Amino acid sequence: MAPVLQTSQPWVEKYRPKQVKDVAHQEEVVRVLTNTLETTNCPHMLFYGPPGTGKTTTALAIAHELFGPELYKSRVLELNASDDRGINVVRTKIKDFAAIAVGSAQHKGGYPCPPYKIIILDEADSMTEDAQNALRRTMETYSKVTRFFFICNYISRIIEPLASRCAKFRFKPLSDEIMSNRILHICNEEGLNLDEQALSTLSSISQGDLRRAITYLQSAARLFGSSISSEDLIGVSGVIPQEVVEALFSACKGGNFDLANKEVNNIIAEGYPVAQMLSQLFEMIVEADDVSDEQKARICKKLAEADKCLVDGADEYLQLLDVTSNTMRALCNMPQEFSYD
Amino acid sequence: MLWVDKYRPRTLDQIMVHQDVAQNLKKLVTEQDCPHLLFYGPSGSGKKTLIMAIICQMFGPSAEKVKVENRTWKVEAGSRNIDLELTTLSSTNHVELNPSDAGFQDRYIVQEIIKEMAKNRPIDTKGKKGFKVLVLNEVDKLSREAQHSLRRTMEKYSTYCRLILCCNSSSKVTEAIRSRCLNVRIKAPTEEQIVKVLEFIGKKEGLQIPSGFAARIAEKSNRSLRRAILSFETCRVQQYPFTSNQSIPPMDWEEYISEIASDIMKEQSPKRLYQVRLKLYELLVNCIPPEIILKRLLYELLKKLDIELKHEVCHWAAYYEHRMRLGQKAIFHLEAFVAKFMSIYKAFLIATFG
Ligand SMILES: Nc1ncnc2c1ncn2[C@@H]1O[C@H](COP(=O)(O)OP(=O)(O)OP(=O)(O)O)[C@@H](O)[C@H]1O
Ligand SMILES: Nc1ncnc2c1ncn2[C@@H]1O[C@H](COP(=O)(O)OP(=O)(O)OP(=O)(O)O)[C@@H](O)[C@H]1O
Ligand SMILES: [Mg+2]
Ligand SMILES: [Mg+2]
Determine the length of chain B: 354
Give distance in angstroms: CA of B42 to centre of ligand 4: 10
Separation in Å, CA of B187 to nearest CA in chain A: 4
Residue B81's DSSP bridge partners are B76
Of the pLDDT bands very low, low, confident and very high (cuts 50, 70, 90), residue B128 is low
- CA dihedral angle for residue A273, residue A275, residue A280, residue A283, rounded to 10 degrees: 180
pLDDT of residue B129: 59
Cβ contacts of A253 within 8 Å, gap of 6 or more: A328, A331, A332
Residue of B nearest to A212 (CA): B179
What's the complex ipTM? Answer: 0.91
What predicted TM-score, i.e. pTM, was given to this entire model? 0.87
Q: Please, what is the Cα angle at B108 between A309 and A52, to 5 degrees?
A: 60
> For residues A318 and A258, is the Cβ–Cβ distance under 8 A?
no
Distance of CA B90 to the CA centre of its chain: 21
Q: What is the pLDDT of residues B15-45, one digit of tens each?
A: 989 998 898 888 888 776 778 899 999 999 9
Asked whether B168 lines ligand 2 (CB < 6 A), one says: yes
Residue A147 and residue A74: Cα distance in Å, rounded? 14
Interface test with A, best of B33, B184, B225 (most A CBs within 10 A): B33
Residue B127, pLDDT > 80, answer: no
> For residues B186 and A119, is the Cβ–Cβ distance under 8 A?
no
Q: What is the pLDDT of residues B138-156, one digit of tens each?
A: 999 888 888 888 888 888 8
> For residues B112 and B95, is the Cβ–Cβ distance under 8 A?
no
Q: What is the pLDDT of residues B234-286, one digit of tens each?
A: 999 998 888 888 888 888 999 999 999 999 999 999 999 999 999 999 999 99
Q: Which residues of A touch B130 (CB under 8 A)?
A: 4-7
Question: Mean pLDDT of residues grouped by 10 in chain A (341 residues)?
Answer: 53 92 95 93 94 95 94 91 76 90 76 92 89 91 93 93 95 95 94 92 92 91 86 86 94 96 96 93 94 96 96 93 97 89 76
> For residues A18 and A57, is the Cβ–Cβ distance under 8 A?
no
Half-sphere exposure of A297 (CA within 13 A, CB side): 4
In eight-state DSSP terms, residue A234 is H
Instruction: Kindly list the protein residues that place their beta carbon closer than 5 angstroms to ligand 4, a single-atom ion.
Output: B 48
Query: Which residue has better confidence, B175 or B17?
Result: B17
Determine the length of chain A: 341
Q: What is the pLDDT of residues B181-216, one digit of tens each?
A: 888 999 999 999 999 999 999 999 999 999 899 999
In degrees rounded to 5, what are phi and psi of residue A102? -125, 145
Residue B146, classed as helix, strand or coil, is helix
pLDDT of residue B125: 57
The residue type of B153 is T
> For residues B202 and B209, is the Cβ–Cβ distance under 8 A?
yes
pLDDT of residue B79: 67
pLDDT of residue A4: 43
> For residues A33 and A20, is the Cβ–Cβ distance under 8 A?
yes
Of the pLDDT bands very low, low, confident and very high (cuts 50, 70, 90), residue B124 is low
The DSSP element (H or E) to which B135 belongs, if any, is strand B132-136
